[in-house]
Structure 1
Amino acid sequence: MSALLQVTGLGKSFGGVKAVDGIDFTLARGELLALIGPNGAGKSTTFNMVNGQLRADRGSIRLEGAELVGLKPREIWRQGVGRTFQIAETFASLTVVENVQMALISHDARLFSLWRRAADHKRDEALALLEQVGMRAQAERPCSELAYGDVKRVELAMAMANSPKLLLMDEPTAGMAPKERNALMALTKELVTARGMAVLFTEHSMDVVFAYADRMIVLARGRLIAEGKPLEIRDHPKVQEVYFGSGKTFEKEIA
Structure 2
Amino acid sequence: MSLLQVNNLGKSFGGVKAVDGISFELAAGELLALIGPNGAGKSTTFNMVNGQLKADQGSILFDGEELVGRRPREIWRRGVGRTFQIAETFASLTVVENVQMALLSHDGKLFSTWRRAADYRRDDALQLLDQVGMQRQADRPCSVLAYGDVKRVELAIAMANSPKLLLMDEPTAGMAPQERNSLMALTKELVVQRGMAVLFTEHSMDVVFAYADRMIVLARGRLIAQGKPLEIRDHPKVQEVYFGSGKTFENKEAAT
1:122 equivalent in structure 2 = 121
Question: SS state of the match for residue 185, structure 2?
Answer: helix
1:172 equivalent in structure 2 = 171
Structure 2 residue identity aligned to 1:20:
V
Distance 1:18 1:115 in 2: 46
Distance 2:253 2:61 in 1: 34
* Alignment size in residue pairs: 254
1:163 equivalent in structure 2 = 162
Question: SS state of the match for residue 118, structure 2?
Answer: coil
| Structure 1 alignment gaps of length 5 or more | none
Map residues 201-240 of structure 1 onto 2, 5 A cutoff: 201-240=200-239
Alignment pair present for 1:70 and 2:78:
no
Q: What whole-Å deviation, never above 9, does each CA across 1:26-61 have from its counterpart, x for those lacking one?
A: 000000000000000000000000000000000000
Alignment pair present for 1:13 and 2:20:
no
1:100 equivalent in structure 2 = 99
Q: Kindly indicate whether the alpha-carbon contact (under 8 Å) linking 1:225 and 1:238 is maintained by their aligned counterparts in 2.
A: yes
2:182 equivalent in structure 1 = 183
Structure 1 residue identity aligned to 2:185:
A
Per the TM alignment, residue 112 of structure 1 is displaced from its structure 2 partner at its CA by: 5.1
2:80 equivalent in structure 1 = 81
Q: Normalising to structure 2: TM-score of the pair? A: 0.97
The 1:114/1:89 distance shift into structure 2, 3 A limit, reads farther
Q: What whole-Å deviation, never above 9, does each CA across 1:99-155 have from its counterpart, x for those lacking one?
A: 000000000001456892301111000000000000000000000000000000000
Distance 2:179 2:145 in 1: 14
Per the TM alignment, residue 248 of structure 1 is displaced from its structure 2 partner at its CA by: 1.2
2:136 equivalent in structure 1 = 137
The 1:99/1:190 distance shift into structure 2, 3 A limit, reads same
| Structure 2 alignment gaps of length 5 or more | none
Question: SS state of the match for residue 254, structure 1?
Answer: helix
Structure 1 residue identity aligned to 2:241:
V
Q: Kindly indicate whether the alpha-carbon contact (under 8 Å) linking 2:170 and 2:201 is maintained by their aligned counterparts in 1.
A: yes
Map residues 35-50 of structure 1 onto 2, 5 A cutoff: 35-50=34-49
Q: What whole-Å deviation, never above 9, does each CA across 1:197-253 have from its counterpart, x for those lacking one?
A: 000000000000000000000000000000000000000000000011112101222
Distance 1:113 1:15 in 2: 41
The 1:114/1:108 distance shift into structure 2, 3 A limit, reads closer
Distance 2:149 2:138 in 1: 11
Q: Kindly indicate whether the alpha-carbon contact (under 8 Å) linking 2:101 and 2:110 is maintained by their aligned counterparts in 1.
A: no
Q: Normalising to structure 1: TM-score of the pair? A: 0.98
Q: Percent identity?
A: 85
Q: Kindly indicate whether the alpha-carbon contact (under 8 Å) linking 1:112 and 1:118 is maintained by their aligned counterparts in 2.
A: no
